[in-house]
Structure 1
């Protein structure tokens, strides 16, 4: 489980819930969720990763559409990646087949507690449009689909629909979670995703991420 590392108590509680679910063999009626929750890295390692990112101006949006990032992929019988993240990040999950129809979610961006999956969005930590402007425009659609459905890095997280829509496709120089307690984790996760996928950052974006790491 690559993202279980020392950091905030909130993240450790999330990890504990996941471990408990997996120990019981998953939620009845659905394939066990084996993807870890969005996690953390050592702050020094993250700072080093930030320094390794290419700094470049944002590219053009020409040719962009969400359809160039195919999602959500199937992830089990009657279950897609969205359901996988809802199940992973929630508690008291209720299923119809392998579709999540109930539960409770704590939105890390704004500390809202949600009890209806229709109020929950699955946020792409690095938004698809931002990825397009920072290198994904050169990928093929298969690779963009891998990025849009990436469960192996902290790229997908269940949050309130209102916070996700406020964020839009903005980078951390333009939008930060209203929950300042999440600034450290948000910066770490953003950097981890960009570093793995070799996406660039703008000068302002890098400065904002460096500032957010100062809250760790």
Structure 2
């Protein structure tokens, strides 16, 4: 399976982890702390937004719950998709974005070709 953060192919399920683009802890700090249990459960399990990815366990561990200004995929070719996903999730769930996040996301979106 292709692993977008590093641009590598994973050959075993043991190498993979499922990553939320916007981690639950980041969502909590961005406004989810005021949500009901039902809203938090919906966010955590939402398969309609572009936010759940199979990534390498190493990528998942290094990312932790950091925002784009603190961590970015090492594969620059994935920055556009990553930023679009991050913005989509934050907008859909009406989560806040810090000035640092916004600046970094703007730079990542500048890598988009279309």
TM-score, L = length of structure 2: 0.96
1:129-163 Cα offsets, whole Å, 9 max, x none, are 00000000000111111101110010101111110
CA RMSD in angstroms comes to 0.7
4+ aligned runs moved over 2 Å, structure 1:
none
CA distance in 2, matches of 1:156, 1:147: 11
Q: 2:44 aligns with which of 148, 154, 158?
A: 148
Cα deviation for residue 182 of structure 1 reads 0.3
Q: 1:197 aligns with which of 86, 93, 99?
A: 93
Cα deviation for residue 119 of structure 1 reads 1.3
CA distance in 2, matches of 1:114, 1:212: 25
CA distance in 1, matches of 2:62, 2:8: 14
1:168 and 2:52 are equivalent in the alignment: no
* Number of equivalenced pairs: 112
Per the alignment, residue 212 of structure 1 pairs with 108
Cα deviation for residue 113 of structure 1 reads 1.2
TM-score, L = length of structure 1: 0.51
More RCO (CA 8 Å, sep 6+)? 2
Name stretches of at least 5 consecutive residues in structure 1 with no aligned partner: 1-104
> What are the within-5 Å matches in structure 2 for residues 1-216 of structure 1?
105-216=1-112
Tell me which structure has the larger Cα radius of gyration.
Answer: 1
1:68-110 Cα offsets, whole Å, 9 max, x none, are xxxxxxxxxxxxxxxxxxxxxxxxxxxxxxxxxxxxx110000
Cα deviation for residue 116 of structure 1 reads 1.5
Cα deviation for residue 189 of structure 1 reads 0.5
The structure where helix makes up a greater share of residues is: 2
SS at match of 1:165: helix
